[in-house]
Amino acid sequence: MTASFLRCDSRGVKPHYNSFAGGDVGRIEALSDGIFAFAATVLVLDFHTPEPADIHSEAELLGALAASAHRLLPWLLSLLTLGIFWVAQQTQLSQLARSNRDLTWLHLVFLAIITVLPFSTRLLADFFTYRSAFLIYWANIFALGVSVYVTWAYAERAKLIREDAPPELSDAFRKRVIIAQSLYGIGAIVGLLNVPLGLALIILIQLNYAIAPRLPVLSRL
């Protein structure tokens, strides 16, 4: 036992293991970077070149590539999703003074949902016109939004945010998540009527958040 474990708090109660667990924000960042990088790599592994034995001309090769072109849309959507949520989590982590055991586990839940994204992407690519595959993918995005919102709300409630954090950051972060998920919800409704159109709408929403256009209306989202 180290001296720090034997020290009592202001009430005379000795701190226990959970008082010390999960306090290093840097370890969350390192794990996050690794999982996001792995998820992005797995996405591209879903692309397969045509079997050489089946290709005998340039036309057949181009035809085989065109037949799998629909997989590009879910891949692009997922890359944007990974980028947007990686930035969101890193924005949170950069404003933390410290972490604790509960917040660490909340971030682990968020990262666990990230690991599901390659599966939902492949499901969507394999069943591109099926509403159920589209809704499962949308549910993956929705779960990420809820998770990233909860991690920030808990960090605030547990007073883990840096004292010098911008005072307007909290409202801006919450507003961004709520508006984004509302827009994704509209995309999901459109997707129930037409899956490719719903996907295209969600990609446009993602592109807006990824490139942050300087249009007066969109820049406030």
Burial class (CB in 10 A: 0-12, 13-18, 19+), 64: middle
**Structural tokens at position 117:** 């994204």
Whether residue 14 lies inside any domain: the answer is no
In a domain, 49, yes or no: yes
The enclosing H or E element of 179 equals helix 169-193
Q: What is the spatial distance between Cα 52 and Cα 205, in angstroms, rounded to a whole number? A: 38
- The per-residue pLDDT for range 55-97, each reduced to its tens digit, is 767 776 776 666 666 788 889 899 999 999 999 999 999 998 8
What are the Cα distances from residue 152, in Å, to 81, 97, 103, 115, 139? 19, 13, 9, 20, 20
Picking from 22, 20, 42, the residue whose alpha carbon sits closest to that of residue 93 is 22
Query: Per-residue pLDDT tens for 163-183?
Result: 888 888 889 999 999 999 999
pLDDT at residue 143, as a whole number: 97
Domain count, the chain: 1
pTM score above 0.85: no
Q: Is residue 199 part of a domain?
A: yes
13 within domain boundaries: no
Q: Report if residue 17 sits inside a domain.
A: no
What is the predicted pLDDT for the residue at 59? 72
User: Closest Cα partner for 14 from 23, 25, 24, 3?
Assistant: 3
In a domain, 15, yes or no: no
| Burial class for 136, CB neighbours closer than 10 Å (0-12, 13-18, 19+) | middle
Q: Kindly state whether residue 85 falls inside one of the protein's structural domains.
A: yes
Look at residue 72 in the predicted model and tell me its pLDDT.
83
User: Does residue 12 fall inside a structural domain?
Assistant: no
For residue 140, give its domain range.
25-220
